[in-house]
Amino acid sequence: MAYDIEKPDEQWRAELSPAEYQVLRRAGTEPAHTGEYTDTRTAGVYSCRACGAELFRSDTKFDSHCGWPSFYDPKDSDAVELIEDRSHGMLRTEVRCSRCGSHLGHVFAGEGYATPTDQRYCINSVSLRLTPDES
């Protein structure tokens, strides 16, 4: 797929920290319970750390106790791209930023969370940047 923001790999490596690059550009996963936004309650907008696209609002964030920030819905239906992921011997749905194609995490459905969508967007903190709402 063509993205609005496309850069050579060398440029991504120069602009991102090694941990950010591993997750955002190589579809890695940060260790559970280590991300800066796992337990954050600050009101605001979560954006893609690679390109700044607005992805999720804090009012859709919920406690799933899975070890990563969880959201039940993206800020805008066009904010993320969903891709079938058959890696690791299972079927999952990968979540990418629709603006730059960066890996964010995975989305799961039907787990029984009391959310309006019954979905859990399990997103790596290192993929996000939180901009707090102005008071």
Contact between 37 and 130 under an 8 Å Cβ cutoff? The reply is: yes
Which active-site residues does the annotation give? Answer: 122
Instruction: Tell me whether residue 26 is exposed, middle or buried, using C-beta atoms within 10 angstroms of its C-beta: 0 to 12, 13 to 18, 19 or more.
Output: exposed
Instruction: Tell me whether residue 120 is exposed, middle or buried, using C-beta atoms within 10 angstroms of its C-beta: 0 to 12, 13 to 18, 19 or more.
Output: buried
